[in-house]
């Protein structure tokens, strides 16, 4: 599943190609998604300029002159930009947004994502799914004082608190394991038992891991590619994720895997406590 870094990489790639370009058409090949896609999207967006694309968690908010889209990549979706002359329609290519000589193509084999239309920007940001999200991990709002206060309210394992999204958004399974390793915290540690000093280290680790992944183009699991068709390389630098039975890069102890809330979680039993 594309996580926050992959979505941010997608956002930046889309903006590089499409910002300030006018929507000149749309082709809707499928409307059945997690939220139904408007079949009349061409009429709704025609001649509107794409002013910006914002991100909230794993959602992208496309801001046009008068209206907006909110998109989500679901489990296996991708959004890529092509020159019109360079692309043929493939299976699971469900939507094209046309910007002059360029096309944004939405590809989603499982159709767990969506593209939702809103007649104004305010209603897009008021979408219930966005209102329920925690703070952005790369913002100033996510700091050790805030994080410590939030964690004091729950005895859930720290892995659960990180990944749920109601405290901080976008720390997906890979980035959760990697952040906990950098901070030296065992993933089963109760959230309200972590000291201020260790919460501060974890706050810094989350920011470091996510920023590094964005710079490396995200993590390519299965078929994720960026808006420019590039794979992500963050997983090549993993310290623990996906390395069960391999020696820890720091101490040499074999990496272990446990299941927490049904998700595979990797950790070093010597470095993390």
Sheet holding 114-118, edge to edge: 50-56, 59-64, 68-72, 114-118
Long-range (24+ apart) CB contacts under 8 A made by 229-234 are: 229/80, 232/5, 232/6, 232/9, 234/5, 234/174
* Residue 132 is among the residues annotated as catalytic for this protein: no
Instruction: Check 17, 152, 249, 263 and give the catalytic one.
Output: 263
Both tokens assigned to 78: 């991708």
Active-site residue 109, yes or no?
no
2 carries an active-site annotation: yes
Catalytic pick from 11, 55, 56, 58?
Answer: 58
| 3 catalytic residue (yes or no) | yes
Sequence-distant contacts of 43-51: CB under 8 A, at least 24 apart: 44/117, 45/69, 45/97, 47/22, 47/23, 48/22, 48/23, 49/20, 49/21, 49/22, 49/23, 50/18, 50/19, 50/20, 50/21, 50/22, 50/23, 50/99, 51/19, 51/20
Half-sphere exposure for 30 (CA within 13 Å, toward CB): 22
Report, as residue numbers or ranges, the catalytic residues.
2-3, 58, 263
């Amino acid at each position: 599943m594309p996580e926050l870094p992959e979505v941010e990489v997608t956002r930046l790639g889309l903006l590089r190609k499409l910002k300030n370009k006018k929507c000149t058409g749309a082709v809707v090949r499928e409307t059945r998604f997690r939220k139904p896609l408007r079949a009349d999207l061409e009429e709704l967006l025609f001649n509107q300029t794409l002013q910006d694309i914002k991100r909230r968690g794993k959602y992208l908010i496309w801001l046009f002159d008068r209206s907006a889209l909110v998109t989500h990549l679901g489990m296996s979706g991708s959004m890529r930009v092509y020159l019109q002359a360079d692309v043929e329609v493939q299976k699971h290519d469900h939507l094209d947004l046309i910007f002059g000589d360029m096309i944004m193509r939405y590809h989603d084999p499982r159709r767990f994502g969506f593209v939702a239309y809103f007649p104004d920007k305010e209603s897009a940001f008021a979408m219930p799914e966005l209102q329920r999200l925690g703070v952005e991990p790369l913002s100033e709002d996510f700091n050790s004082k805030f994080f410590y206060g939030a964690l004091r309210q729950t005895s859930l394992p720290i892995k659960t608190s990180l990944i749920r999204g109601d405290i901080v958004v976008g720390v997906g399974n890979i980035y959760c394991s990697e952040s906990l390793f950098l901070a030296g915290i065992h993933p089963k540690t109760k959230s309200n038992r972590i000291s201020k000093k260790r919460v501060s280290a974890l706050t810094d680790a989350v920011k470091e891991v996510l920023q590094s992944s964005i710079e490396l183009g995200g993590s390519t699991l299965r078929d994720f590619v960026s808006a420019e068709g590039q794979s992500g390389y963050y997983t090549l630098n993993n310290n623990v994720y996906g390395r069960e039975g391999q020696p820890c890069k720091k101490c040499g102890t074999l990496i272990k895997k446990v299941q927490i809330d049904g998700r595979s979680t990797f950790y070093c039993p010597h470095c993390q406590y």
